[in-house]
Amino acid sequence: MKGQTNSKILSAGLQRRLRNAPTDAEMHLWRHLRHRQIEGCKFRRQHPFGDYIVDFVCLERSVVVELDGGQHTEAADSQRTHYLEKAGFIVLRYWNNEVLSNTVGVLDSILQTLKARAAPCPPNPPLEGEG
What pLDDT is recorded for position 31? 97
> pLDDT grade, residue 2 (50/70/90)?
very low
CATH architecture of 7-116: 3-Layer(aba) Sandwich (3.40)
Tell me: pLDDT of 127 over 80.
no
3-state SS string for 42-77:
CCEEEEEEECEEEEEEECCCCEEEEEECCCCCHHHH
Q: Where are the domains of the chain?
A: 7-116
Rounded to whole angstroms, the Cα distance separating 41 from 19 reads 20
Kindly report, residue by residue over 61-89, the tens digit of the pLDDT: 999 999 998 765 677 889 999 999 999 99
What pTM does this model have?
0.81
Taking a C-beta distance cutoff of 8 angstroms, is the pair 48, 11 a contact? no
